[in-house]
Structure 1
Amino acid sequence: MPFFEKNATVSVVSSRANGRVKQLRAAFAGQARLSEGMVAIEGDHLLDEALRSGMVLKTVFVSERREVPKSVPRGVEVLRLTDEVFASAVETRSPQGVAALMVPPVAAMDDVLRGTPLILIAAGLQDPGNLGTLVRSAEAFGATGVVVTPGTVSAWNQKALRASVGSVFRMPVVSATAEEIAGLKARGVRLLATVGFEDGETVAAQEMDFSTACALMIGNEGAGLAAEWMEMADARVTIPCPGPVESLNAAIAGSLLLYEASRQRSGR
């Protein structure tokens, strides 16, 4: 596949069977093998965020109705698609006319353990919007990383990616098994189970000490934290709610706890 300068004249691809178009379609569908490990992004904002965050772009796709964004570096492969072919490859109903294949960043557990770790653990989250929002909140409130367990939706899911508004490009997101998460305790990290109720063993958020190395475990939207995570926890934390609600949305609860941790740490 040839490489084009960003201001060069590019022939218009009119076949849905084009190899790069098929790769883009597979990436949007989360088919890692068919996309060769690439991640798809769509829209000017995510493209700008990816470039600002130092992501490596493989190919940029533009529809025939618009120009190549000036932010696209020289040397990046650019393909111009007919509007029909472009719409067939992306997910949104009203596409902005620009998309890209990029190399996703790879993070390891050591990346989330820098400084005094503040880690968010997504244990079985299924809603991609919740995960993306939590990744964004993690960056906003100074967390050192996000850890996802088996059964949790991918942070590169398109809805999660859009909900993170680009934070997933910069916030380390690491997949880990239960054994690896239990191993955090040996590295001085307290595991805090977030629950939606108060009992004799539960500490209110404003009374919990978040100033030392800790990890907040957020459970499944419907079932909460599974028994294995509750048993693993060093303490339970909840957000007192004076209103008549049983529990908070997972993303809201995690964001409030991250804010409280940030507040305590900034005043340390």
Structure 2
Amino acid sequence: MGERNGMAEMPGFVVTSRANARVKQLRAATAGNTRLSGGLVAIEGETLVGEALRSGLMLKTVFVSERREVPRGLPAGVEVLRCSNEVLQSAVETQSPQGIAALVLPKVWEMADVFKVTEPLLLIAVGLQDPGNLGTLIRSAEAFGAAGVLVATGTVGAWNQKVLRASAGSVFRVPVVQVTEAEVVGLRERGVKLLAAVASGIGALPAATASFKGTCGVMIGNEGAGLGASWVAMADALVTIPCPGAVESLNAAVAGSVLLYEASRQRSAA
């Protein structure tokens, strides 16, 4: 990526008005208002900005507080706006901002993207409402070699600020595709074996016994209610994680991560 004359640019003008057009756009993007943000997504913090650059996302504007330097390595053409600490803090979500944020053009993924690999492993999130859980699962999906994450109706959006932070940048690289229940049923026509994660029950296979080989999708349900009856009914197999401790069930992100690890282990051995 080209740097401006090999050095980080140091804009001299400092924005001190919260009514600045770009600051208002950042505030709207942080709040998830795609209409006012022009379809751009807000990211905050050095880690996410660095991951966005590494992942090839198109950065439109980078906001830097007056107390820190402009990061090196920004592509030519990226707008850099230096803001007062108070103005930047007014436009971002975290209580202790790191002094850097950006507006980026989000990637738009399609179902075809998750089938670019042979025998893909898919994670299917059904009704997950905790953004931290979804972000963690997207990160685990990348760590354990899943080809993509399918998010069914009722699941929190992938570009939610807490999802972004919990994914630690994985959401920039892992295809996340919005799907309907009918589209998940249709996956079976593409040879996808559907595995439903359940706490326990008749016919549920321990994770180590179930087969995650070949093209398969692991379905994880809502944090409180789990998978609904129609989702369980469409599954080719029910999978559970045996817990010798005195707990009824695992956190959705933990359960999904454990199953993705088991899938990765089996598929690597094969």
Normalising TM by the smaller chain, what interval? over 0.9
SS of 2:194's partner is: strand
SS of the residue corresponding to residue 62 of structure 1 reads strand
**CA offsets, 1:67-86, max 9 Å, x none?**
10113223200111111111
Q: Percent sequence identity over matched residues?
A: 66
Residues 27-76 of structure 1: CA distance to partner in whole angstroms, max 9, x if unpaired? 11111111111111111111111101111101000111111011322320
Give yes or no for the alignment of 1:196 onto 2:199.
Answer: yes
Say if 2:196 and 2:219, in contact at 8 Å, map to a contact too. Answer: yes
Secondary structure of 2:208's aligned partner: helix
Aligned to 1:80: 82
Whether the aligned pair in 2 keeps the contact of 1:61 and 1:100 (CA below 8 Å) is yes
CA–CA distance in 2 between the matches of 1:129 and 1:22?
Answer: 26
CA distance in 1, matches of 2:67, 2:39: 29
TM-score normalised to structure 2 length: 0.95
Q: For structure 1, which segment, 225-234 or 209-218, has the greater mean C-alpha deviation from structure 2 after superposition?
A: 225-234
Aligned residue pairs, count = 264
Conserved 8 A contact 1:48-1:71 = no
Aligned to 2:44: 42
Distance in structure 2 (CA, Å) of the matches to 1:187 and 1:109: 11
Deviation string for 1:183-216 (max 9, x for gaps)? 10000001111000132x2111111111111100
2:120 match:
117
CA distance in 2, matches of 1:85, 1:105: 28
1:97 aligns with 2:63: no
* Matching residue of 1:262: 264
**For residues 171-182 of structure 1, what are the structure 2 equivalents within 5 Å?**
171-182=174-185
- Does 2:156 correspond to 1:153? yes
TM-score normalised according to structure 1 size: 0.96
Answer yes or no: is 1:142 the counterpart of 2:145.
Answer: yes
CA distance in 1, matches of 2:112, 2:12: 43
* Alpha-carbon separation, structure 2, partners of 1:262 and 1:159: 26
In 1, distance between residues paired with 2:12 and 2:253? 43
Aligned to 1:219: 221
SS in structure 2 opposite 1:243?
A: coil
| Alpha-carbon distance in structure 2 between the residues aligned to 1:151 and 1:33 | 21
1:115, CA displacement in angstroms? 1.3
Q: CA deviation at 1:15?
A: 1.3
Name the CA distance, whole Å, in 2 between partners of 1:51 and 1:204: 41
Tell whether the 8 Å contact from 1:10 to 1:79 is kept in structure 2 after alignment. no
Bigger mean CA deviation after superposition, 229-238 or 215-224:
229-238
Measured after TM superposition, the shift of residue 20 of structure 1 is 0.9
Using the alignment, how far apart are the partners of 1:241 and 1:198 within structure 2?
13
Is the CA contact 1:55–1:105 (under 8 Å) kept in the aligned structure 2?
yes
Letter in 2 for 1:188: G
RMSD: 1.3
**Corresponding residue of 2:168:** 165
Unaligned runs of 5+ in 2: none
